[in-house]
Amino acid sequence: MSASAPLGVQALPLTAADLANFARCGIPPAMLEQAGVFRVDSVEGARIVGRKPGSGDYSGIVFPYFWPGEGHPFEYRLRRDHPDIEVTSDGSRKERNKYLSPPGRGSRLYIVRGVLPVDLADVSLPIVISEGEKKTLALTALADTGDRPRWLSIGIPGVWNWRGKVGIEAGPAGERRPVKGVIADFDKITWRGRKVIVLFDRNVRTNPDVQAARWELTRELTRRGANVWWWNWPPSTPPEVNGVDDLTGLWGPEQILQIWDSCVHPAPQRLSDCNREFEAVSFDHYRLSLPAALITIDIDRLRWERDDLIAEAVVRCDLPGVRSVRGVVAAGKLNLLSLTSRRAFAKELQSRAPLKELDWTSLLEEAALRTIEAERAGVELKLLDNYPDVDEESQFIRVHGLTLLANLATVIYGPGGTAKSYFALWLAGELARRGIAVAYLDTECDWQTHKIRKQKLFGRTQHEIYYYRIRRPLAEETDALRRGLEQRGIRYVILDSISLASSGPLEESATAIALFGALNRIGVGSSLGALLIGHCPKDRDDLFGSVFFQNNARLIYHCARIDEAAGTWILKTRTIKSNLTPKDTIVCFRFIFQPGRVEVHPADPAEIPELADQLPLADRIATILRRRPLTKPEIAESLDASVDSIRRAINRNKHRFVVLPGGRVGLRTKDGEDSTDDYQS
């Protein structure tokens, strides 16, 4: 039994693998023996941390906590060999509860056994504060000179664990409430006049919460009179390094000590001096952030109104003592070019978040001026030849013969009663089945209607189809929609319909321009494709409204209904406009309505009597050649066409037809060979 173990606990010696792992972090066996570190099996580990044996695997390494001048540990902390695995919302896996302490215990400072009480009072001895026991051991070994140590190493279990429950007080109704504050161990150390170096893990450069914890710890130490410095990670730190123990093991103690002084810098005295980041979030959204203070200033929804640059400013701050609503200190309209507007906004911020170390006026000025500079900077023009090569077929989505544009707007329109919305929902299911997330933006029905329709079409099959009911013109919904589409990874939207999503009379060109401008702002034309559903009068076949609805769309289909038997009809789609695909193409789908079920199947136009004569001549030729090869005169007789027209159609479509020996004409297969062997005699 180890002298450091609790009474009755069977301690085990560290294994050879344990010693090798510690040695790789610059922690020699003598340091581990001095610290009283030992190993336990799962049963003994569960006893130490107050867990029920068998409720998990609690085997691991135990770090006893000693206070200088006291001979026995006052606390234990277990590092589990096999912590629980948690699956996060994004599907990744991470360890949970890797370090455990007995329940109900507050946070304490970790100081390696051997430190004397006089060291806590000796302000000439610097202190290095780091995260966790292992890093504290590595820093203690690094500070060992054989005589007086270079510094005193102190560890905290986590970046915020220098704070905790410090008492209990009665609430307004007499209930007992915990009081949070700086843990009592801080009061046992003399800080005034002492150099203190805060050395947090490498993620302090990227994690705002860790940066905020370092800043708050710096504020507390400064308030106690310490001279606070930050250890800044060297740029050459390998990416696999997390803590100073990893770096020591990789580079060795000598190299760490050589670069030590160059990595230690005075901590900023004001929040305004902390590192800040400015980024363009989107084309009308900029952000200035101070990660160390958990402050972000979002300048969003930028627009020019005559000579004024107007924006919505949203300021967030999660530091303690700041009046905020869900982290938002203030949000409102801001004229970036108006000194009066900026001063009034900064004054409001100062009243709600009176941080002595922060000058809200200068911070808001910086956010405004950098946004103005970004807006006035020249746009990046790029040579078209320098863009990556694009596969032409990737610009289209083919659905059973129907072509949709992958990154631009497609319009399908027709009179009422042609099942356009049903068809659009079926298309959404087909896209989702191919891994394309779809958003159905609805203005005409409700989610209940579309839920029932989807179940009739697909049963209980799950699809990544998101529904949103638009209650205002699309131009007024773009900001929220754009963020929602980005968050969900949407790649295609269906707008049902053009008329109710527009913001004015459909006959006016400005209405069409505004609608397509709104589509552009939510991402159509860059990261999104869109299908727009429109209407036309029953006695006409043109899209209702301004000609600009047709001019702005790149692909337009007119749809009509052809009745067959009861509960069955054909939806005929015909290409009206196409900038990128062949025109006058007819694609058909058969709808079969049954009780509680709707089926949609592709239908061959050549087999529909009402449509056979409307097909392009090449399509009609291909239809009859599916049975067997024919001569040109035989084809002309079958189609009631002239031989010359048949000859011209075949010559123009050599990719589809092949002339066989003997003058007969056959179909080519996809690989370009003739399909003679595929015909049945």
**Tens digit of each residue's pLDDT (9 = 90 or more) over 306-339:** 889 999 999 998 776 788 888 899 999 999 999 9
Which residues, 6 or more positions from 507, have their beta carbon under 8 angstroms from its beta carbon? 545, 546
- Which residues fall within 8 angstroms of residue 230, CB to CB, at 6 or more apart? 197, 198, 214, 218, 264, 265, 266, 267
Distance between CA atoms of 100 and 9, rounded to whole angstroms?
17
Give the pLDDT band of residue 583 (cuts 50, 70, 90): low
Environment class of 54 (CB within 10 Å of its CB; exposed 0-12, middle 13-18, buried 19+):
exposed
- Return phi, psi of residue 651, to 5°: -65, -35
Which residues, 6+ apart, have CB-to-CB distance to 307 below 8 Å?
337
Residue 162 has pLDDT above 60, yes or no: yes
Q: How many CA atoms lie within 13 A of 166 on its CB side?
A: 12
- Distance separating alpha carbons of residues 495 and 440, to the nearest angstrom: 6
Report the alpha-carbon distance of residue 292 to residue 198 in Å, rounded: 14
HEC-encoded secondary structure of 78-112: EEECCCEEEECCCCCEEEECCEECCCCCCCCCEEC
Task: Please answer whether residues 557 and 574 qualify as being in contact, where contact means their C-beta atoms are separated by less than 8 angstroms.
Answer: yes
AA letter at 235: P
- Report how far residue 648's alpha carbon sits from residue 478's, in angstroms, rounded to the nearest whole number: 50
**Which of 88, 95, 98, 91 is closest to 63 using CA atoms?**
98
**pLDDT for 341-397, tens place per residue?**
999 999 999 999 887 778 899 999 999 999 999 888 866 788 888 888 888 888 999
Report whether 571 contacts 418 (CB < 8 A).
yes
User: What is the C-alpha separation between 276 and 359, in angstroms, rounded?
Assistant: 14
For the CA atoms of 254, 256, 261, 266, the dihedral, rounded to the nearest 10 degrees, stands at -160
The CA radius of gyration of the chain, in Å to the nearest whole number, is: 36
Average pLDDT of the chain is 88
The predicted model gives 523-539 an average pLDDT of 89
Q: CA torsion 559→565→567→570, rounded to 10°?
A: -20
Distance CA(88)–CA(94), nearest Å, equals 7
The pLDDT tens digits of the residues spanning 231-260 come to 989 888 998 999 999 999 999 999 999 999
List pLDDT tens digits, range 419-438. 899 999 999 999 999 999 99
pLDDT in tens, 79-95: 999 998 887 766 677 88
Q: How far apart are CA 357 and CA 363, in angstroms?
A: 12
**What H or E segment, with its residue span, contains residue 577?**
strand 568-578
List phi, psi (to 5°) of 611.
-115, -15
233 is written with which tokens? 């990670």
Strands 152-156 and 127-131: parallel
Give the pair of three-digit tokens for residue 556. Answer: 């337009």
- Bigger pLDDT: 25 or 579? 25
Question: In this predicted model, what pLDDT tens digit does every residue of 196-229 receive, in sequence order?
Answer: 999 999 988 888 788 888 988 998 999 999 999 9
- pLDDT tens sequence across 49-75: 999 888 889 999 999 999 999 989 999
Nearest to residue 201, comparing CAs of 193, 210, 192, 213?
210
Lowest mean pLDDT among 146-155, 169-178, 471-480: 169-178
Token pair for 525: 């034309």
Looking at residue 677, its pLDDT comes to: 42
Structural contact between residues 584 and 575, judged by C-beta atoms closer than 8 angstroms: yes
- Across 569-595, average pLDDT: 85
